[in-house]
Structure 1
């Protein structure tokens, strides 16, 4: 696995995964950028959200339950002027006929398996979560 970042202009850069995918990172205008994309720090939090979503999907299939909607919000918190996240709140919204216990179990397994979450945990970031079970419309 390899990532390459190439400066493009101002504070903006393009990051590639060397598999044909890329994203732009930049700073907001208030910090001297042109706001052409998320900051690297925001991308880190976005990666956690995406990882939980992906791994939950995989675990749910292994547990043999379906869902019709899935959203994961991650909120990063920097307490006492910390330079990085001290806490992350994960909010999972899922529409499924599975029991609350099955969804909870799936999320617990997901949080243990999510590589991005494991990195956060190893860095000492406190993660809390909540589940909102959506009703079918």
Structure 2
């Protein structure tokens, strides 16, 4: 696995995964950037959200339950002027017929094996979670 970052202009860069995918990182205009993409720090939190969503999908299939909608928010906090995240809240919203217990079990298993979450945990970031059922329209 390899990532390559190439400066493009101003403060912005393009990051590639060397499999043909890329994203732009930049800073907001208020911090001297052109706001062409998320900051690298925001991308880190976005990665956690995406990882939880992906791993939850895999674990739920193994647990044999389906859902019709799944959304994951990650909210990062930097307490006491910390340079990085000190706490992350994971909010999972789901539409499923599965029991609350099954959803919670799946999320707990997900958080234990989500590679990005494991990195956050090893860095001492406290993670809490909340599960909400999506309302059918």
Normalised TM-score (structure 2)? 0.99
TM-fit CA distance, 1:133? 1.4
Alpha-carbon distance between aligned partners in 2 of 1:100 and 1:127, rounded to the nearest angstrom: 20
- Once the two structures are superposed, residues 95-120 of structure 1 have per-residue CA deviations (whole angstroms, 9 ceiling, x without a partner) of 00000000000000000010000000
User: What is the CA RMSD across the aligned residues, in angstroms?
Assistant: 0.6
Query: Which residue is equivalent to 2:117?
Result: 117
Q: 1:85-104 maps to which residues of 2 (within 5 A)?
A: 85-104=85-104
Aligned length: 137
Query: Which residue is equivalent to 1:30?
Result: 30
Normalised TM-score (structure 1)? 0.99
Gaps of 5+ in 1: none
Q: Give the SS at the match of 1:34.
A: coil
Gaps of 5+ in 2: none
Alpha-carbon distance between aligned partners in 1 of 2:116 and 2:106, rounded to the nearest angstrom: 17
Q: 1:1-137 maps to which residues of 2 (within 5 A)?
A: 1-137=1-137
